[in-house]
Structure 1
Amino acid sequence: MDFITILFIGVGLAMDACAVSLAKGMSLDKDKVKKYALILALAFGFFQALMPAIGYFAGSHFTDYIQSIDHWIAFILLSLIGINMIKEGKEEKEDEVKIHSISFKDILLLAIATSIDALAVGVSFAFLKVNLWIATTTIGITTFVLSFICVLFGKTLGNLFEKYAEYMGGSILILLGIKILIEHLFF
């Protein structure tokens, strides 16, 4: 798997974290936005990098048994994750009131919740024999940068983009699943 593909996977996986970052940015007091942009970006980036590594090691124990159908597994996992993200984008988001801080517990839960999809992607990485260091670093940095930016711009972008972020992320993951399937079946 080439770097550009991994980068697009990172962008796709980061969309949940971006949607949350936008929402939190919109609801934070103006003087707290920069502080929480850094905190949320670090938490989201760390967990988006950690979860594929966990999935990779869990999936690597089964590689010898499933290698002949690995492309189908990657396609199904990425498609299901993408469809789920699109479904979540359709759900109505409640307007949040201005908040002065976000608790450590809430940050941790948000980081874990937005990175669950990355666990399944890590399993598919094991089957595709992806370079884990490059993949997790790319995904973590991509999520960090995008989340940081989304918190900062959350004040001005409004609720509209939050909805489309999940559509875009889900679509990217589905398209990558299709690309992997086509590459393995025809090339």
Structure 2
Amino acid sequence: MTPLSILLIGLAMSTDAFAAAVGKGVAMRRPRLSEALRAGLIFGAIEAVTPLIGWLLGTAAARYITAWDHWIAFTVLALLGLHMLWNGLRPDSADDRAPRHHGFWSLAATGLGTSIDAMAVGVSLAFLDAPIVLVAAVIGLCTLAMVTTGVMLGRVLGTLAGKRAEIAGGAIMIAVGAAILYEHLSGAA
């Protein structure tokens, strides 16, 4: 594998996380850079670990992982997106106008939902004799950068559009999940 192909894999694996991070940034309302970096670290660590897990599972479990990865990603992202839509559509209370902090588990669930496909990539890399640790590190670093940027971009969108941006963020999360599902189902046909 060339350095360029490794970088392209890293960028490709982080695009779902970027879209989800924009939605998270909207929902967080005015996140600070430290919160964006925290989200980036959580997403990046998960995104780096999943191809390693996939690589370890190798050929024995490949058909089971690839048979369900798109459904798992779709379900997690759709549920998170629906929750964001619900928050965006319900009337404001005094507590809702304060900035929200997203906990570790919320960020980790979103990160896992966007990284299931990286596990399948890890399985395929087991057949290519690829430098899996290097590839996983690049995927993690690309995701860190993309998610941090996405959360901060979501901050700008949230400030400009308010609850409409949270509704849009929820729709984006659902769309990302649906795109993952569509991509896998259409590729399998």
Band the TM-score falls in, shorter-chain normalisation: 0.5 to 0.7
8 Å CA contact retained: 1:18, 1:147: yes
Matched residue SS, 1:47: helix
The amino acid that maps onto 1:57 is L
- TM-score, normalization: structure 2? 0.65
Q: How far off is 1:10 after superposition?
A: 1.6
Matches within 5 A, 1:79-158: 94=85, 96=88, 99-157=99-157
Pairs aligned (count): 158
**Aligned ranges 1:28-107 → 2 under 5 Å:** 28-30=28-30, 32-59=31-58, 94=85, 96=88, 99-107=99-107
Q: Deviations over 1:32-85 (max 9, x none)?
A: 33232011100000010000001111106x5xxx9xxxxxx9xxx6xx96xx88
User: Please, what TM-score do these two structures have when normalized by structure 1?
Assistant: 0.65
Partner of 1:101: helix, strand, or coil?
Answer: coil
- Partner deviation per Cα, 1:130-152 (whole Å, 9 max, x = no partner): 11121011100000001001111
Aligned Cα root-mean-square deviation (Å): 3.8
User: Counterpart in 2 of 1:8?
Assistant: 8
Separation in structure 2 between the aligned mates of residue 143 and residue 115 of structure 1, nearest angstrom: 10
Contact 2:42 2:107 in 1 (8 A): yes
In the TM superposition, what is the alpha-carbon distance from 1:3 to its structure 2 partner? 2.0
5 Å-filtered alignment, 1:8-27, equals: 8-27=8-27
Find runs of 4+ consecutive structure 1 residues off by over 6 angstroms: none
CA deviation after TM superposition for structure 1 residue 166, in Å? 4.2
CA contact (8 A) 1:44 1:144 kept: yes
Contact conserved, 2:20 with 2:176, CA < 8 A, in 1?
no
| Number of the residue aligned with 2:161 | none
Instruction: Render the CA deviation track for 1:72-127: whole Å, top value 9, x for unaligned.
Output: x9xxx6xx96xx88xx89x9872647652112221222222221111111000101
Q: Gapped runs of 5+ residues in structure 1?
A: 67-72, 178-187
Identity percentage of aligned residues: 28
Counterparts in 2 of 1:33 and 1:162: CA distance versus 1, 3 Å: farther
Q: Are the equivalent residues in 1 in contact too, given 2:46–2:108 (CA < 8 A)?
A: no
